[in-house]
Amino acid sequence: MWYLMMLLLCPALCSTLPQDGSLSITVRKRNDLATGSSCNCQGLKCGLVGRTNRVVGGSETTLTELPWIAAMFYKGKLYCGAALVSNEHLVTAAHCINRVDKRHVEIVFGSHNISDVVEAGRQTRRVGDWWAHPGFQRRSFNNDIGVIRLSEPLVLGTDVRPVCLPESGGDYVGQHAIVAGWGRVSEKGRNSEVLRKVRVPIMSNDECKTKKYRPSEITDNMVCAGYDQGKIDACQGDSGGPMMFETKNNAGQRQVDLIGVVSWGQGCARPGYPGVYTRVENFSNFLRQQIGASCLCPRN
């Protein structure tokens, strides 16, 4: 989970990033991503939010509020989150799939209470294949993104539907993102059985570099969010889970873009240590290559 992954990133392990740029990422517009004739969206739009409670601090989500969030289990134990982006593909963190035996991974969709195995909207799938970004650096967590293809497509509907991929050029600095998952509700607490969400302010990378991290740790492929005083953080979500930004589509409906992936941080909600997320729009080319002609539900 987010908390466990963060504790592994103690200062002794947070190495200085390469100065050569490591890997050049080409940013593509969303409509460059292949929609393909095999699309099976069943008339659904991506990213539509279900009935919701507004976030104040951390709160429990309502049923079907965020129907793209998936829980990943390794040998029956929750270990990461992911976001559905097509009828058979998910985006998660590379560190959630790198060096992990996918034969032991099961992914649950349409769940609110993960301990309730008979939830009406629940669907479960195995992993067909997955790909960590080839530039992923385990020591620095740069390029911490991956794609999962399911063993078989999902049945889309109210309980399970994809989130929207972000359009290029989005400026989110000074605005708030939503992070959700079943992770620990405090640094030493237990995992939450129900899906919870937190609302965190997004900061510029320049500002993030003035916090308690070393400036070299924050790359252009990352985005930081959190409060100076701590207390509220993505430890209430899972590693690999979505960082979301709410917009409105042409019909005025509330719609959510996947702008980040929960990646790393120091401790849980500690003052001066904002959460660090993978910046999804920088990896549009990688996502396009892996998703191919699969279903990407329309925005409008």
- Positions marked catalytic: 95, 144, 239
Cα first-last separation, the chain:
34
Fill in the DSSP letter of residue 184: B
Can you tell me the distance from the alpha carbon of 179 to that of 200, in angstroms, rounded to the nearest whole number?
8
Can you tell me the distance from the alpha carbon of 108 to that of 117, in angstroms, rounded to the nearest whole number?
10
Can you tell me the distance from the alpha carbon of 278 to that of 179, in angstroms, rounded to the nearest whole number?
13
Can you tell me the distance from the alpha carbon of 243 to that of 275, in angstroms, rounded to the nearest whole number?
11
Helix (H, G, I), strand (E, B) or coil at 217: helix
Residue 70 CB-half CA count within 13 A: 36
Partners of residue 153 on adjacent β-strands: none
